[in-house]
Structure 1
Amino acid sequence: MASFVEIGRYNVIPLSLASLCTCPYRPTLNKTLIFNQKRYPKFNLRIVFDGSRPMFRFRQSGISTNRHFIVAVARAQADRLDEDNAREEVDKGNNLLVIEDSVSERQQKASQLKKRIVSGLGIGISFGGIILAGGWVFTVAFAAAVFVGAREYFELVRSRGITAGMTPPPRYVSRVCSVICALMPILTLYFGQIDVSVTSAAFVVATALLLQRGNPRFAQLSSTMFGLFYCGYLPCFWVKLRCGLAAPALNTRIGAKWPVLLGGQAHWTVGLVATLISVSSIIAADTFAFLGGKAFGRTQLTSISPKKTWEGTIVGLGGCIATSVALSQIFRWPTSLLSAVAFGFLNFFGSVFGDLTESMIKRDAGVKDSGSLIPGHGGVLDRVDSYIFTGALAYSFVKTFLPLYGV
């Protein structure tokens, strides 16, 4: 009696009826498909449709046929298992690489955040002590920061991204301008004003550029003059604000209890209080804008700085005004709530404008940070960009507008 072998018992890859049609058989009306025995003399293949379930059978006509068939099926199954195992190993390896990259990125972000916090606290405490000290301590420390910031600015001007479209000033001119920018705050404190010094410095630098060897270019003159204005002239208003407004803030609660050895109540001048409120408002604006952008940021503010959003800007404005109002209640200056709100709005506008200006310079230079002096923060310009225009706005507001309203 002929024996039968069911293909399904050996887990053979399923064959569709259409694929079987390529073989030399012809379907018959009795629902049985039979191989042509003239071409395949050693075995018969029948596909019997039993109800709704087809059954594949081999009619063995020789021992070697069954053996070869089983070996072929086993080899095919083994090859498929090897391919599956290899694919699983590759998938596991890719998953491990993705996990390792994710963990490494998280660790890097955590480390960078830690550096930013430590550096920020150190800078904040140091700068707060320098503001309280005032006088020459404040001016000399400020001049050192201006010198480093000016060097970073002229390095950005000489970077490959900007020099591709313009001719940068000579290196010796950049160094001289950095020194001039550092001297401007000192001259401001000594003479009480800076207009003549800035005009004289600009004239000397412009003359040196026009009389240089080679072919002088307007791009050299414009970038150098902007550097003197951006890194030298504008920061001098912080010296005028802190040290120039020497009128005592008589209503300040803290000033009434300030130790006599540290200057007593006379130490708390309008310039000191205005500087503390302005600096604190800028810090609050940057902090709240960062947190608001992370939590609610959806709409891009400008293409100059893609990470800034309208939502973060609005939150930063609210934090800046709230800080200005809260500190005005503590220091009892300014006495008008409307003046405190206007002062906070002005500080926020100056900080955003300064930040975007420095971002535009870095974008054209093709760099992420202006330097690497401060761990986790980049260069000096990256930290003081929000303060460059704000000093001039704050000084003009206190000097010009507050007396008009009697506060």
Structure 2
Amino acid sequence: MASFVEIGRYNVIPLSLASLCTCPYRPTLNKTLIFNQKRYPKFNLRIVFDGSRPMFRFRQSGISTNRHFIVAVARAQADRLDEDNAREEVDKGNNLLVIEDSVSERQQKASQLKKRIVSGLGIGISFGGIILAGGWVFTVAFAAAVFVGAREYFELVRSRGITAGMTPPPRYVSRVCSVICALMPILTLYFGQIDVSVTSAAFVVATALLLQRGNPRFAQLSSTMFGLFYCGYLPCFWVKLRCGLAAPALNTSFAGIGAKWPVLLGGQAHWTVGLVATLISVSSIIAADTFAFLGGKAFGRTQLTSISPKKTWEGTIVGLGGCIATSVALSQIFRWPTSLLSAVAFGFLNFFGSVFGDLTESMIKRDAGVKDSGSLIPGHGGVLDRVDSYIFTGALAYSFVKTFLPLYGV
């Protein structure tokens, strides 16, 4: 340990030259004053007057304290170096942890993106084959997706974020409504229309809610009726579009698609207005989502709405352009619709329906306080997360082809 001297303990501060000499001139002294303390017997304090400059000297048992002072300074510097080294090691460790976290985060994002691509391709190929098959294959597969989507919707309605402000419908009512929603596409294909079936189902469900035990609430009735409309009635228009518009798209034979289609799969008669319209509508929605995502990443600055903070006006405009371009390009390939203006209008309606459906599902999830409606599809969440852009679009596409296109656009 280094030796330290506390000068204040020796009471030398009151000492001054005036007390040593009262002469009017400054003396020239060559003397040494020695102060000894019993408390610190090893230290001697000497004040040496050399000419007119006082100097302090310390001695420790006859050995100069300069050497001890140097040793103490060296040890202090060594301790400081050790502390600096330790701090550098800690900083290096923290930096390594940060680097490892960033690397693991990038790996996780890459793995998530890979899952999204693989599952997206699988869904796209499977759904494309189902659309081409049409008929009962399309309807039954569609009904299964509607059932899962309805279950997810009623689970969202029962979540804590929504139940904090309203009373959800009983669980048995939710299950019955999910089954009714799944039956609606099948009834649409069988009867050709769904109005009577939907009205009857809504009446039965409303009666069950009003006659339930306890205190029936309007929130239960409104959320259930919207579930029947959102998850059951609106998706039925896809069945009416794909399977109901059976007029042959004769122009496709000139493009070579209908002429080369195998006879075992229906031949030229298989290429109906409903099939072509469904393919163009689905492809336009996929293009709208893709271009909107890429445009938002590249140019996104202005937020579109607080319902979905990641959506921007720039991305929306790019998505609209991609949707219309896809609709026009496919109309030239399939030779339907024959009017360019009709193809542009069809693309605009598809984009509007996809954005509206996406924002509606985002609003439901925001009130429910969840990020995804489910976890059935790896990398994509639930079924509602994947089909939200299609829910309203089927009704718009069917109404446009059925009502506004003369001769179904052939």
Partner of 2:228: 228
How far has the Cα of 1:30 moved from its partner?
19
Contact 2:28–2:52 (Cα < 8 Å) also in 1 = no
How far has the Cα of 1:80 moved from its partner?
1.1
Contact 2:2–2:72 (Cα < 8 Å) also in 1 = no
Q: 3-state SS of the aligned residue for 1:212? A: coil
The Cα offsets for residues 316-367 of structure 1, whole Å up to 9 and x where unpaired, read as 1111000000000000000000000000000000000000000000011011
How far has the Cα of 1:22 moved from its partner?
27
Partner of 2:181: 181
Shift in CA distance, 139/70, structure 1 to aligned 2, threshold 3 Å: same
Contact 1:25–1:35 (Cα < 8 Å) also in 2 = no
Shift in CA distance, 3/189, structure 1 to aligned 2, threshold 3 Å: closer
Shift in CA distance, 41/239, structure 1 to aligned 2, threshold 3 Å: same
Contact 1:116–1:377 (Cα < 8 Å) also in 2 = yes
Shift in CA distance, 12/112, structure 1 to aligned 2, threshold 3 Å: farther
Q: 3-state SS of the aligned residue for 1:161? A: helix
Q: Which runs of 4+ in 1 moved over 2 A?
A: 1-64, 404-407
Shift in CA distance, 3/249, structure 1 to aligned 2, threshold 3 Å: closer
Contact 1:6–1:57 (Cα < 8 Å) also in 2 = no
Tell me the distance in 2 between the aligned counterparts of 1:329 and 1:106. Answer: 42
Contact 1:184–1:197 (Cα < 8 Å) also in 2 = yes
How far has the Cα of 1:46 moved from its partner?
15
Q: 3-state SS of the aligned residue for 2:250? A: coil
Contact 1:3–1:59 (Cα < 8 Å) also in 2 = no
* Farther off after superposition, 254-263 or 388-397: 254-263
How far has the Cα of 1:17 moved from its partner?
23
TM-score, scaled relative to structure 1: 0.86
* Farther off after superposition, 139-148 or 258-267: 258-267
Shift in CA distance, 68/98, structure 1 to aligned 2, threshold 3 Å: same
How far has the Cα of 1:67 moved from its partner?
2.3
How far has the Cα of 1:256 moved from its partner?
1.9
Equivalent in 260, 273, 277 of residue 280 of structure 2: 277
Shift in CA distance, 278/42, structure 1 to aligned 2, threshold 3 Å: same
Shift in CA distance, 66/14, structure 1 to aligned 2, threshold 3 Å: farther
Contact 2:10–2:35 (Cα < 8 Å) also in 1 = no
Kindly name which structure, 1 or 2, has the bigger radius of gyration based on alpha carbons: 2
Tell me the distance in 2 between the aligned counterparts of 1:134 and 1:20. Answer: 119
How far has the Cα of 1:63 moved from its partner?
2.4
How far has the Cα of 1:36 moved from its partner?
15
How far has the Cα of 1:89 moved from its partner?
1.0
Between the two proteins, the alignment pairs up a number of residues equal to: 406
Shift in CA distance, 28/186, structure 1 to aligned 2, threshold 3 Å: farther
How far has the Cα of 1:74 moved from its partner?
1.3
How far has the Cα of 1:68 moved from its partner?
1.9
How far has the Cα of 1:60 moved from its partner?
11
Tell me the distance in 2 between the aligned counterparts of 1:261 and 1:364. Answer: 50
* Farther off after superposition, 231-240 or 302-311: 302-311
Shift in CA distance, 331/406, structure 1 to aligned 2, threshold 3 Å: closer
Contact 1:284–1:319 (Cα < 8 Å) also in 2 = yes
Identity of aligned residues (%): 100
Contact 1:8–1:56 (Cα < 8 Å) also in 2 = no
Q: Does 1:104 align with 2:104?
A: yes
Shift in CA distance, 390/288, structure 1 to aligned 2, threshold 3 Å: same
TM-score, scaled relative to structure 2: 0.85
* Farther off after superposition, 10-19 or 67-76: 10-19
Equivalent in 376, 380, 402 of residue 379 of structure 2: 376
Tell me the distance in 1 between the aligned counterparts of 2:289 and 2:156. Answer: 23
Long gaps (5+) in structure 1:
none
Partner of 2:298: 295
How far has the Cα of 1:58 moved from its partner?
10
Contact 1:140–1:186 (Cα < 8 Å) also in 2 = yes
The Cα offsets for residues 213-239 of structure 1, whole Å up to 9 and x where unpaired, read as 000000000000000000000000000
How far has the Cα of 1:172 moved from its partner?
0.1
Shift in CA distance, 277/36, structure 1 to aligned 2, threshold 3 Å: farther
